[in-house]
Chains A and B, each alone.
Chain A
């Protein structure tokens, strides 16, 4: 009802970048991770990897600044997408997005962003460690809450 969003658990990410590969294959037909709509930020010296995608904001700033209405919220599927035919590549959404998610694709000469692969995100399908998941927006924190609570309650048992 509220739409599904991609939830990243960065503790599980191993930095294999499989998500980037399948994303680019699905969208561009080429195995080119630099054109993927999910980017894995890496800090190799601590082993910390953070996949970053579109947060699917309820009131997206990128749609407000788009001059051609190419970037709009698709009410039916509850996602924010950029219409490739309407986009003129002005890159204002790139500057506007607080997460810096959309990026300019120099081969298609338009701005692209994650569009949840029309209902079945490929990155979720192919991630072996399940670091990324596609869940209802109001249930995003349930797994994390459960995890933290379990560990906390274990600690309390230890203390006693």
Chain B
């Protein structure tokens, strides 16, 4: 509910209903989907670059190379309980799919469930069993990638579907979240390749991934600038929201959390990494980038201000000209005093 002190300084509060739980969910769902897309693309087109590493467990041999790149659905599965945490009646979360006809929340529930199931099948199947490159498996992988794209875009569409919050109601938001998902996902893949000790720091695959990563960061920065500018031009509350982010109470979150930690440090550090090839640099870059992605979601959620109703403006005008009994439009200057006097003498005012 917008609480509006009508006079002097206009401070309209942003929404306070969707908080950090939703930000974590959007972040993990996006990152998991992006990581899955990049991982599957690696398996399709760069499998020769991926070092094979087998872990022998009991009677199974686990193909760690596939495990290291296909863990995306796991992250989405970890992110979904945060959404359930935000509900009032947590035990009834499964009924949230009953209205896919009009509700994006219900559609998202179905998309995410499908992605988690199919993604986990692909994850376990590729790692534990050795699926031959059959058409059936390839079809399943294609469906998985399509669902991953849908998941990454859905995180943005969910916010866009709230029509009355101008900073969210734009197709640039799903695009921004998609690029951010791909960027954080590919950084996750880089970190997991290092973590599973699959590649040495100077490995060709890592070099390709880091250069792709740099492209993603640049595209994301450009889309973010376009997004903020387009929302700034959206009267009135779009402008207020962007002010809130850039120079209002959220400015630390934006300039330090999103711009500095999420964009500037990673670009600088990756530039250094291409010349120094120190794994430590890459890990720090990774942590900064992933934190920046989370702060982006948090910032956009925390700056959602609802459009001011025409009713508010009307009430504002009435207060300012002190004609709350009349409902007439404001008169030209000079006549106001004459009219007021007339009304006072006749006992109308």
Contacts and interface: CB of A to CB of B under 8 A. Distances in A.
A147 B306 CA distance: 32
Contact of B6 (A43, A52, A67, A94): A43
Nearest to B97: A67
Interface string B301-313: 0001011010000
A48 B92 CA distance: 42
A152 B47 CA distance: 82
Contact of A155 (B6, B102, B165, B343): B343
Contact of A95 (B162, B319, B339): B162
Given A110-B88, A151-B348, A152-B328, A95 B103 contact: no
B155 to A, nearest CB: 14
A99 B102 contact: no
A77 to B, nearest CB: 21
Contacts of B304: 95
Contact of A99 (B103, B309, B319, B325): B309
Contact of A10 (B165, B315, B346): B315
Contact of A100 (B97, B306, B327, B328): B306
A68 B2 contact: no
Given A90-B86, A155-B339, A46 B348 contact: no
A61 B96 contact: no
**Size category of the binding interface on chain A:** 35 or more
A52 B338 CA distance: 34
B89 A92 contact: no
Nearest to A97: B164
A94 B319 CA distance: 28
A103 B63 CA distance: 51
B109 A67 contact: yes
23 contacts: A10-B315, A11-B324, A46-B319, A48-B315, A63-B102, A67-B106, A67-B109, A68-B92, A87-B88, A89-B87, A89-B88, A92-B162, A95-B17, A95-B162, A95-B165, A95-B304, A96-B163, A98-B307, A99-B309, A108-B88, A144-B327, A151-B326, A154-B348
